[in-house]
Amino acid sequence: MNWRALGCAVLAAVAFVALGLWSLQMALGQPGCPPVLLWGSRQYAAVGPPTPEPVVADGEPVLLGNILVGAVTREVYGPAGSEPAPDVDEAPDDIALACGDGSFVTYRYRSELPGLDVSP
């Protein structure tokens, strides 16, 4: 048995597993909300600090659906009376995003991103 070859194989396996775990951690992201949110061709900027419940405009926030942030989905809330729109371009200007750690951040519509449409 060649101990040098066995040692190299074990070292390669450890490096492969470590790189895979690091890549998975990077893809899943950390809990928390990003400062800028891209939703379809719309760009939202965070306003204010995280809150323990969703806060948007006046009234009780309503669940609009889910959005993909990194490799995880997060709930999106809109102002009272808003409904999930089939086209993201009809989304409300103020939304709240669940951060994955029990907090929520309010976002305000900032701009359209010309030529960029990442909606499914």
Give per-10-residue mean pLDDT for the chain (120 aa).
Answer: 88 92 73 82 87 85 84 86 74 88 89 55
Instruction: Tell how strand 62-69 and strand 72-78 pair up.
Output: antiparallel
Same-domain status, 24 and 43: no
Same-domain status, 3 and 49: no
Cβ pair 58, 38 in contact under 8 A = no
Same-domain status, 66 and 49: yes
Tell me the residue length of the chain.
Answer: 120
Domain span including residue 25: 1-29
| Tokens 């009780």, located at residue | 60
Same-domain status, 45 and 21: no
Question: Residue 22: its pLDDT value, please?
Answer: 84
How many structural domains does the chain have?
2
Same-domain status, 47 and 104: yes
Question: Residue 120: its pLDDT value, please?
Answer: 46
Cβ pair 44, 37 in contact under 8 A = yes
Q: For residue 120, is it within any domain? A: no
Question: Residue 118: its pLDDT value, please?
Answer: 47
Cβ pair 104, 52 in contact under 8 A = yes
Question: Residue 112: its pLDDT value, please?
Answer: 66
Question: Residue 29: its pLDDT value, please?
Answer: 62
Q: For residue 117, is it within any domain? A: no
Tokens read off for 73: 């989905």
Same-domain status, 47 and 19: no
